[in-house]
């Protein structure tokens, strides 16, 4: 133990509230949600106890036992056993257990106790346990286990006081280490049954409200219909709620750009500010409300406990296409960004299923693609009602998200057909209790998401926009040039060179050029298009949407939408695939198949749409 600093590890079964406890104690903002497998790596934080002692807290991935099956579980085992490189074993282990499900969680507590290290048991979610009428004889449980037991409610500030008081005091004496063999583990179940019989009284094994809701949510027909309806309504809401705010921001930026242009002297700097920064960045910023609306619904679904039900419902379908129900949560995370989605696959036990999920995760529509979709849909798809209720633009957006999902299923199916091992693995996952999302958690999630977007906007997107403006402006046209100045710029030459590759997809040189910065960050395609059209003088008063509608046929717009649905992902995603699979070959497979898929799908879309038009 380092002088004055106590190292505490938070461990327990998945979804018992370790990260919520970690956030409450350290003031951190690590992601929490109501399903297993949110934390897939070791997180560290510090807090100062009332005595002035500095406590170092480790939040470890949840695990059901030390028979580690998946990469995230191995981290927990290695840290606790002192085998994690560069990491000393913790001075104290706080074993967190869900008080509503001690039948499952106490087994791991007994397993941790066998390590022979000081342990404190935190009975978390005690509020939910009391509500369900579960009575726990805490002093008796503590006596029988031979370790301190405290009650906690991790989502409330006052709910962790007893734990803080416990860890701030004397470190409990460790039980002697015991051998970890099969016979000893079989004995654990018997011990749990004894402990429960002596210390816990439960009116019923499950929550009556959960059972009532699950009768509908897990029904093979009604459940799927509910899932489809929920997802459809989310995308409708993105347009119905987000679009008016997006339009307001765009108008505001147009006005601001005009004010700045009037104030600045004419010259290249004025062009950079108005055409590049206000034209490019302003257009991207306008899509923030739509992104936030989408994330609002994702956060609510995450908090509610509905997502594992969706995974359960889709398991049969997922297995049929070469994936697994366990793939659902990482794939859903990929709607935010493929990177956490790919990292989330660490909770998948089977390496084959894990790789399949990693390779298809980038086909899920990440939030960076939303500005591109919203721009093109706004420019080309009329605002019309379908069946008198639905917004046509929302229907198209839903179709694009569905195209990504169907593409992932098709790729998974092909991989299943060509791979050597075709065996299937049963899905075994815990269904958490339903919970009403806490407005504060949702608000913090939205705030974080908004900040991440603004950080990207003022970082890499701003830098790329400045570069795009530069190559669209310089060099100046030669003396006697008759065409628009931009055609003689670096951007003009690069765009025309790229157009040879993308002309069969209906892309003009401006679109072809915008695909380059999109490889760094997808949203930059919007900023690049806005800058190129503004510098070229084609943007006009109506902004980028009008410029696109005037310069671009519908067939090309549909082709571009399809391109972005399947196109090779950004560089960061490729880097994470390399890191998580330790193989450049997988990076090449991922990039290659997505390029081929996007090219083929865009080509077919363009040719069909062009002929129909």
Buried b / exposed e over 351-367, threshold 16 CB at 10 Å, is ebbbbbbbbbbbbbbbb
- Of 156 and 455, the one with the shorter C-beta distance to another protein is 455
Judge whether 580 and 342 are in contact, CB under 8 Å: yes
- Of 30 and 508, the one with the shorter C-beta distance to another protein is 30
Which H/E stretch holds residue 201? strand 200-201
Q: Is 187 helix (H, G, I), strand (E, B) or coil?
A: helix
Residue 186 Cβ vs another protein, minimum distance, rounded to whole Å: 29
Residue 354 Cβ vs another protein, minimum distance, rounded to whole Å: 6
Judge whether 126 and 150 are in contact, CB under 8 Å: no
581 belongs to the binding site for another protein (CB under 8 A): yes
| Residues numbered 360-389 forming contacts with another protein, rule: CB under 8 A | 366-368
575 belongs to the binding site for another protein (CB under 8 A): yes
Residues in contact with another protein, shown as a per-residue x/- string from 313 to 342 under the rule CB under 8 A: -----------------------xx-xx--
C-alpha–C-alpha distance, residues 52 and 357, integer Å: 46
- Of 475 and 542, the one with the shorter C-beta distance to another protein is 475
Using CB under 8 A as the binding criterion, the count of chain residues that bind another protein stands at 62
| Residues numbered 175-204 forming contacts with another protein, rule: CB under 8 A | none
58 belongs to the binding site for another protein (CB under 8 A): no
Give the burial class of 123: count Cβ atoms within 10 A of its Cβ; 0-12 exposed, 13-18 middle, 19 or more buried. Answer: buried
C-alpha–C-alpha distance, residues 188 and 385, integer Å: 61
Residue in 424, 464, 208 with CA at minimum distance from that of residue 327: 424
Residue 460 Cβ vs another protein, minimum distance, rounded to whole Å: 5
Roughly what angle, to the nearest 10 degrees, separates helices 102-113 and 182-199?
130
Q: Is 136 helix (H, G, I), strand (E, B) or coil?
A: strand
Q: Which of 195, 272, 374, 548 binds another protein (CB under 8 A)?
A: 272
Q: Is 264 helix (H, G, I), strand (E, B) or coil?
A: coil
Residue 422 Cβ vs another protein, minimum distance, rounded to whole Å: 9
Q: Interacting stretch for another protein, rule CB under 8 A, among 102-110, 212-220, 318-326, 355-363?
A: 355-363
- 536 to each of 90, 326, 462, 472, 511, how far by Cα in Å? 62, 49, 19, 8, 13
Which H/E stretch holds residue 11? strand 5-12
Residue 592 Cβ vs another protein, minimum distance, rounded to whole Å: 12
Q: Which of 265, 382, 439, 480 binds another protein (CB under 8 A)?
A: 265
Judge whether 302 and 330 are in contact, CB under 8 Å: no
Q: Which of 196, 227, 260, 463 binds another protein (CB under 8 A)?
A: 463
Q: Is 54 helix (H, G, I), strand (E, B) or coil?
A: strand
| Residues numbered 74-133 forming contacts with another protein, rule: CB under 8 A | 78, 84-86
- Give DSSP secondary structure letters for 499-560: HHHHGGGT--HHHHHHHHHHTT-TTHHHHHHHHHHHHTT---TTHHHHHHHHHS-HHHHHHH
Q: Interacting stretch for another protein, rule CB under 8 A, among 93-101, 150-158, 167-175, 452-460?
A: 452-460
| Residues numbered 509-568 forming contacts with another protein, rule: CB under 8 A | 520-521
Which H/E stretch holds residue 44? strand 43-48
Q: Which of 127, 227, 304, 470 binds another protein (CB under 8 A)?
A: 470
Q: Which of 583, 592, 600, 604 binds another protein (CB under 8 A)?
A: 583
573 belongs to the binding site for another protein (CB under 8 A): yes
Q: Interacting stretch for another protein, rule CB under 8 A, among 106-114, 382-390, 462-470, 479-487?
A: 462-470
Q: Interacting stretch for another protein, rule CB under 8 A, among 188-196, 380-388, 432-440, 578-586?
A: 578-586
| Residues numbered 399-438 forming contacts with another protein, rule: CB under 8 A | 415, 418-421
Q: Interacting stretch for another protein, rule CB under 8 A, among 46-54, 100-108, 308-316, 583-591?
A: 583-591
Which H/E stretch holds residue 104? helix 102-113
CA–chain centroid gap for 406, Å, is 19
C-alpha–C-alpha distance, residues 65 and 68, integer Å: 7
Q: Which of 535, 576, 597, 609 binds another protein (CB under 8 A)?
A: 576
Using DSSP bridges, classify how beta strands 43-48 and 54-59 pair: parallel, antiparallel or unpaired: antiparallel
294 belongs to the binding site for another protein (CB under 8 A): no
Residue 218 Cβ vs another protein, minimum distance, rounded to whole Å: 30
- Of 291 and 555, the one with the shorter C-beta distance to another protein is 291
Residues lying near another protein in the complex (CB under 8 A): 30-31, 41-43, 71, 78, 84-86, 265, 267-269, 272, 336-337, 339-340, 343, 351, 354-355, 358-359, 366-368, 415, 418-421, 448, 452-453, 455-456, 459-460, 462-464, 466-467, 470, 520-521, 570-573, 575-576, 579-583, 585-586, 589
């Amino acid at each position: 133990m380092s002088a004055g600093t106590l190292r505490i590890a938070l461990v327990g079964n998945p979804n018992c509230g370790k990260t919520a406890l970690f956030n409450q104690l350290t003031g951190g903002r690590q992601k929490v949600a109501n399903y297993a497998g949110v934390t897939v790596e070791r997180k560290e934080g510090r807090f100062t106890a009332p005595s002035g002692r500095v406590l170092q807290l480790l939040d470890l991935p949840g695990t059901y036992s030390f028979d580690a099956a998946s990469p995230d579980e191995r981290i927990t085992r290695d840290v606790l056993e002192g085998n994690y490189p560069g990491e000393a074993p913790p001075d104290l282990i706080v074993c967190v257990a869900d008080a509503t499900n001690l039948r499952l969680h106490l087994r791991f507590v007994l397993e941790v106790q066998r390590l022979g290290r000081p342990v404190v048991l935190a009975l978390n979610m005690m509020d939910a346990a009391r509500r369900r009428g579960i009575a726990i004889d805490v002093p008796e449980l503590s006596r029988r286990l031979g370790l301190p037991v405290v009650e906690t409610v991790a989502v409330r500030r006052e709910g962790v006081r007893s734990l803080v008081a416990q860890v701030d005091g004397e470190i409990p004496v460790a039980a002697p280490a015991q051998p970890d063999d099969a016979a000893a583990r079989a004995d654990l179940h018997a011990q749990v049954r004894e402990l429960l019989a002596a210390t816990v009284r439960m009116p019923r094994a499950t929550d009556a409200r959960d059972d009532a809701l699950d009768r509908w949510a897990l029904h093979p027909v009604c459940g799927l219909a509910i899932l489809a309806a929920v997802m459809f309504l989310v995308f409708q809401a993105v347009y119905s709620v987000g679009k008016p705010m997006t339009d307001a921001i765009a108008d505001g930026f147009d006005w601001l750009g005009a004010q700045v242009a009037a104030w600045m002297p004419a010259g290249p700097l004025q062009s950079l500010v108005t055409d590049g920064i206000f034209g490019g960045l302003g257009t991207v910023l306008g899509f923030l409300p739509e992104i936030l609306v989408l994330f609002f619904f994702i956060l609510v679904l995450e908090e509610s406990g509905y997502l594992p039900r969706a995974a359960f419902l889709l398991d049969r379908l997922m297995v049929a296409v070469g994936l697994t129900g366990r793939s659902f949560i990482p794939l859903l995370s990929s709607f935010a960004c493929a990177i956490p989605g790919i990292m989330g696959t660490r909770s998948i036990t089977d390496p084959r299923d894990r790789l399949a999920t990693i390779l298809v995760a980038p086909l899920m529509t990440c939030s960076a693609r939303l500005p591109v979709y919203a721009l093109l849909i706004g420019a080309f798809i009329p605002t019309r009602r379908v069946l008198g209720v639905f917004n046509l633009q929302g229907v198209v957006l839903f179709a694009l998200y569905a195209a990504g999902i169907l593409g992932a299923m098709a790729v998974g199916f092909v991989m299943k057909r060509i791979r050597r091992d075709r065996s299937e693995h049963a899905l075994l996952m815990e269904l958490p209790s339903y919970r009403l999302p806490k407005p504060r958690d949702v608000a913090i999630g939205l705030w974080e998401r908004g900040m991440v977007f603004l950080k990207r906007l003022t970082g890499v997107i701003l830098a790329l926009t400045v570069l795009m403006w530069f190559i669209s402006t310089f060099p100046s046209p030669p003396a006697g040039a008759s065409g628009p100045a931009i055609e003689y710029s670096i951007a003009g030459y690069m765009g025309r060179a790229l157009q040879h590759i993308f002309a069969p997809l209906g892309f003009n040189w401006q679109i072809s050029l915008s695909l380059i910065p999109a490889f760094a960050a997808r949203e930059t395609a919007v900023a690049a298009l806005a800058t190129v059209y503004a510098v070229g003088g084609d943007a006009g008063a109506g902004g980028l949407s009008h410029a696109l509608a005037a310069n671009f046929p519908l067939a090309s717009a549909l082709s571009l939408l399809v391109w972005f649905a399947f196109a090779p992902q950004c560089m960061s995603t490729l880097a994470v695939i390399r890191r998580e699979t330790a193989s450049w070959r997988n990076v090449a497979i991922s990039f290659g198949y997505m390029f081929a898929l996007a090219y083929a799908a865009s080509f077919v879309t363009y040719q069909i749409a062009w002929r129909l038009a």
